[in-house]
């Protein structure tokens, strides 16, 4: 049996779709669906069960010995979150409890970390899982800090020789985009937001640069398709001997202007870009450059070829965003 927490969310629902495509029939989703359209992310899936988070551990205890792996994608993922107690309860304490259960049940554990743990990037973008390496990072927001707390705790447990799940992997996702992100509101990828603006006949709006080293629209991110991310996770699923903390990006930074042009090309429209001030509430926490160092994942044996931005954006626009049914 396979558990996917956050399985109705963006990355989680794409994992569930990939598992179904592989012929896995015992997949259980743990998530909060609420009263919106989040349920549509898993509406096409053949699932063994759907659980709210408060029922998860009772379910796990009843299935001890039958669960092979937990993909833990569930979290409060809004970078604008301000309730620290709630974020720590969900992103740290719940995650550590799940880690401990996987240790005792000998179930594999793959969890979502984030590139937000790197902060402004001044300490680099290496997926160093050592205690000293992690100590140097300074996340800029509560969400990134919560993921960093979890990474550091797991690093400490490993360094002390404490028991671990038979396989564990933390994945520092960079700027992920792709189908089934529609419920995320303002946390949707910029690719999706730009498509919405263009489809409405509006010019796209990008943040103006407030940094002397970057021109307007020249801020850079490691944009990565959710399809590439899921392919890497399926590789990990097939490699039970591989454990560690890994970056998950393409290894290539591209500008927001590049992204906008890719969306315009995919939609067959002429570019028209306007620049707006970065909101003051996030201006001092804004990352101007992110780029995953992918050497560690490559050294672990992963040979997955990440697709160029233009190709992956084009597929997203044509196969999903421009369709009447955009859900995977």
> What pLDDT, on a 0 to 100 scale, did the predictor assign at position 285?
78
Structural domains of the chain, ranges and CATH numbers in brackets = 2-178+223-251+292-307 (3.40.50.720)
Q: Are 278 and 207 in contact (CB under 8 A)?
A: yes
What global pTM score does this model have?
Answer: 0.96
- pLDDT tens digit at each of 328 positions of the chain: 999 999 999 999 999 999 999 999 999 999 999 999 999 999 999 999 999 999 999 999 999 999 999 999 999 888 888 899 999 999 999 999 999 999 999 999 999 999 999 999 999 999 999 999 999 999 999 999 999 999 999 999 999 999 999 999 999 999 999 999 999 999 999 999 999 999 999 999 999 999 999 999 999 999 999 999 999 999 999 999 999 999 999 999 999 999 999 999 999 999 999 999 999 888 887 889 999 999 999 999 999 999 999 999 999 999 999 999 999 9
> What pLDDT, on a 0 to 100 scale, did the predictor assign at position 280?
87
**C-alpha to C-alpha distance for 9 and 140, rounded to whole angstroms:** 24
**C-alpha to C-alpha distance for 242 and 236, rounded to whole angstroms:** 7
**C-alpha to C-alpha distance for 193 and 296, rounded to whole angstroms:** 32
Q: Where are the alpha helices (DSSP H) in 239-328?
A: 256-267, 280-283, 295-299, 309-316
Q: Are 189 and 259 in contact (CB under 8 A)?
A: no
Q: Where are the alpha helices (DSSP H) in the chain?
A: 10-21, 56-62, 84-88, 94-105, 131-135, 142-159, 190-199, 226-238, 256-267, 280-283, 295-299, 309-316
Q: Which residue numbers are catalytic?
A: 143, 184
């Amino acid at each position: 049996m396979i558990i996917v927490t956050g399985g109705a969310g963006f990355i989680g629902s794409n994992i569930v779709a990939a598992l179904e495509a592989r012929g896995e029939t015992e997949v259980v989703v743990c998530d909060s669906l609420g009263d919106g359209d989040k349920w549509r992310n898993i509406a096409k899936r053949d699932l063994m069960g759907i659980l709210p988070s408060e029922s998860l551990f009772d379910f796990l205890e009843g299935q001890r010995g039958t669960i092979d792996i937990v993909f833990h994608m569930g979290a409060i993922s809004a970078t604008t979150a301000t309730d620290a107690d709630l974020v720590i309860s969900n992103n740290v304490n719940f995650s550590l409890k799940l880690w401990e259960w996987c240790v005792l049940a000998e179930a594999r554990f793959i969890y979502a970390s984030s590139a937000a743990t790197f902060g402004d990037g001044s300490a680099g973008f290496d997926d160093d899982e050592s205690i000293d390496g992690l100590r140097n990072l300074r996340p800029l927001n509560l969400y990134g800090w919560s993921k960093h707390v979890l990474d550091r705790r797991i690093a400490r447990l490993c360094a002390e020789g404490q028991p671990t799940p038979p396989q564990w992997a933390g994945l520092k996702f960079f700027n992920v985009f792709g189908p089934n992100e529609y419920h995320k509101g303002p946390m949707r990828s910029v690719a999706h937001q730009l498509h919405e603006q263009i489809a409405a006949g509006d010019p796209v709006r990008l943040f103006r640069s407030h940094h002397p080293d970057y021109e307007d629209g020249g801020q850079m991110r490691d944009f990565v398709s959710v399809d590439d991310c899921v392919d890497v996770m399926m590789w990990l699923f097939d490699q039970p001997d591989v454990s560690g903390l890994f970056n998950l990006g393409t290894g290539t930074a591209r500008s927001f202007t590049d992204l906008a042009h890719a969306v315009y090309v995919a939609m067959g429209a002429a570019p028209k870009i306007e620049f707006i001030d970065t909101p003051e509430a996030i201006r001092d926490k804004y990352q101007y450059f992110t780029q995953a160092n992918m050497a560690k994942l490559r050294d672990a044996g992963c040979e997955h070829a990440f697709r160029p931005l233009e190709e992956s954006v084009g597929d997203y626009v044509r196969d999903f965003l421009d369709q009447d049914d955009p859900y995977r």
